[in-house]
Amino acid sequence: MIRPVGSDELKPLFVYDPDQHHALMHEAEGLPSITISSQAAGNAVMMGGGYFTPLTGFMTVADAVSVAETMKTTAGMFFPVPILCLVDDPSSIGDARRIALRDPNMEGNPVLAIMDLESIESVSDEQMTLMTERVYGTSDQAHPGVAAFQGQGRVALSGPIQVLHFSYFQDDFPDTFRTAVEIRNEIAERGWKRVVAFQTRNPMHLAHEELCHMAMERLSCDGLVIHMLLGKLKPGDIPAPVRDAAIRKMVDLYFPPNSAMVTGYGFDMLYAGPREAVLHAYFRQNMGATHFIIGRDHAGVGDYYGAFDAQTIFDEQVPKGALGIEIFKADHTAYSNKLHKVVMMREAPDHTKDDFVLLSGTKVREMLSNGVAPPPEFSRPEVAQILMDYYQSLT
């Protein structure tokens, strides 16, 4: 199986030993504590599950700035984006050096992790601007990722952590949330050697489904891991339980047995386009995928990124040899009325736009809200029914 990034073995930070876990939970209740941001909580969950191997905790400001500029820490370790624990006011922890980090997303703010606090640093306006512009490509507050990043606070807590809980993800999505450890184990159990991963924050329409089939065939893969984001999205995006149901229905009906796994991970969407694409590839390698599909405007939002910037970044900015996973560079896929099948648009040079079945997101949402199924050339009817039921429940 493919090695994790920068390590011979996966390094999950979750405390799995029951006795140690119990002792740490007891200790945490007596420690000074602070409720962290949703983005920091997602970082902790990802470190807990081994996705961010070989990180051992939250970065210092110097490391975060270095990662934003060069995709390497000050010590030279490759990482695509800063992994920070930013807070507004650290006064609740005083001068403590061992603290409990509390979950902002669950009632009662339970303990998520224990941190051995190595530094408390202020982040300057210049440092925040640099990180924002390098990671998101813009400082525009209308960008949902920028607004979330800059809204966390300007004090960085850094140091190694021991993760004690997977937030609401394990409770709310018991059949879907999986750690990198668990996905690696299942890949091994299924006997898959070549595995392609597909990232999604949306339901999968026919073009997405066929893209996965294309990638599996062209890469000679044994299996596909559909890996959906389960954390926070921008307003208007379809909630995770609905996406989960729609994707599972598609896989049950249109994929052969033992060819696809439906899984999810606990992280808030960054909408950081190219940089987030690299992060996506990074943790897909850690979960055991050998290949990763990156299509048009991957992880983008609005018009902040070029259509294929998320592909070219791997050739132009990712340090050579930093990643072992291979990128499957896909174009926009759509149903061809000429060929009567889904194709990549760049592979149909004799087509005009009118030869494809293309529907805008706005048009699809309007149809679903009115109880009208998109054409079968766009969406499987069983998937469309789940989405229609959701949209009509909102009216």
Strands 291-294 and 326-329: parallel
Rounded CA gap, 70 and 97, in Å? Answer: 30
Strands 333-336 and 291-294: unpaired
Rounded CA gap, 343 and 332, in Å? Answer: 9
Catalytic residues: 201-202
86 phi and psi, to 5 degrees? -100, 135
Encoded amino acid at 142, one letter: A
Encoded amino acid at 309, one letter: D
- The contacts of residue 206 (CB under 8 Å, 6+ apart) are 335, 342, 376, 377, 378, 379, 380
Rounded CA gap, 55 and 43, in Å? Answer: 11
Nearest to 293 by CA among 220, 212, 230, 348: 212
Nearest to 295 by CA among 192, 209, 366: 209
Is the previous residue joined to 54 through a cis bond, with omega within 30 degrees of 0?
yes
CB-CB contact of 169 with 241 (8 Å): no
Three-class SS of residue 16? coil
Nearest to 13 by CA among 159, 153, 132: 159
R_g (Cα) of the chain, nearest Å = 21
Residue with tokens 């990643």: 323
What's the CA angle centered on 114, arms 113 and 119, to 5 degrees?
120
Three-class SS of residue 204? coil
Instruction: Dig out the tokens for 346 from the structure.
Output: 């760049």
Rounded CA gap, 51 and 284, in Å? Answer: 8
